[in-house]
Amino acid sequence: ESHESVEDSMRGEYVGIGATVSVSGDCYAVNDLIPGGPAEKGGLHVGDVFRKIDGVDVETFEDVNQLAAFVRGEEGTDVTLVMFRPSLNEELTIKLTRAHITNVSVRSRMLENDIGYIQISEFSENVSKNFENAVKELYLDGAKAFIFDLRNNGGGYAYECVAMLDLLLPPAEVASIKGRE
C-alpha cells in the first residue's frame, strides 16, 4: 500500500489533499502546497506540523510514506487533521475533502533583471517535458539567466532528471550504473 502510494505520486496524479510532507527531526511537517488543492483551500500552511490524522497519532507512523498513504483515500471523502502551527503556537483541527490532484512539479515565473525562475519540487513523470516548456516560455519572455530552485525537492525518477539536463548540457554521459545485473 505504501509502495503503491509512492508510485501514484510519482506519476504526478493521485487522490489526496495536495500537500507534500517532509520529516523534520521527529515531526512530519507540510513542505509544500499544490496550488488550488484542498490543503491550500482549507487553510493548511507550509510549516504546519501533523499531530493526528483521523484520530490516529502520527507518532505511530513508521515513515512519511505511511503518513501519506493514510492521508490519501477515495476522492470526495473527508480527512480530519490535527495540526500544530508554530507561527501561532497553537493546535488546529482542519477537515479537508480529498480530491484528484495533478502535481505541479514545475513552477516558473520571471524575476527582475530578465531572470527566469523555475522551481522543481520533484522528478516525477513528465517533469522533464514541463521543465522544457517552462525554459522555452521564459526564454521567449526575455530571460537572459535562470535560477533552478531544487530546495525541498523530494527526488524521483533519474531518467526525468537526465532528460532535463539534456536540455541544458552538451551531449555527454550524465550518469551510469555499474555492477547491477
Q: Is the pLDDT of residue 140 over 80?
A: yes
d(CA 141, CA 109): 10
Question: Which of 17-21, 100-104, 113-117 holds the top average pLDDT?
Answer: 113-117
Q: Does the predicted TM-score (pTM) go above 0.75?
A: no
Q: Which residue has the cell 530546495?
A: 151
Q: Measured between alpha carbons, how far is 23 from 25 in angstroms, rounded to an integer?
A: 6
CA distance 144 to 57: 49
Question: Can you tell me the mean pLDDT for 40-66?
Answer: 91
103 confidence band (pLDDT: 50, 70, 90): low
Residue 73 near residue 98 (C-beta atoms within 8 A): yes
Asked whether the predicted pLDDT for residue 81 surpasses 90, the reply is: yes
Lowest-confidence region among 22-26, 29-33, 95-99: 22-26
The label of the residue with cell 539536463 reads 165
- Residue-level pLDDT at 157: 85
Query: What confidence score (pLDDT) does residue 34 get?
Result: 82
Smallest Cα–Cα separation from 30: which of 54, 47, 5?
Answer: 47
CB count within 10 Å of CB 10 equals: 21
- Alpha-carbon distance of 71 to 14, in angstroms, equals 11
The DSSP letter of residue 26 is: T
Is the CB of residue 53 less than 8 Å from the CB of residue 70?
yes
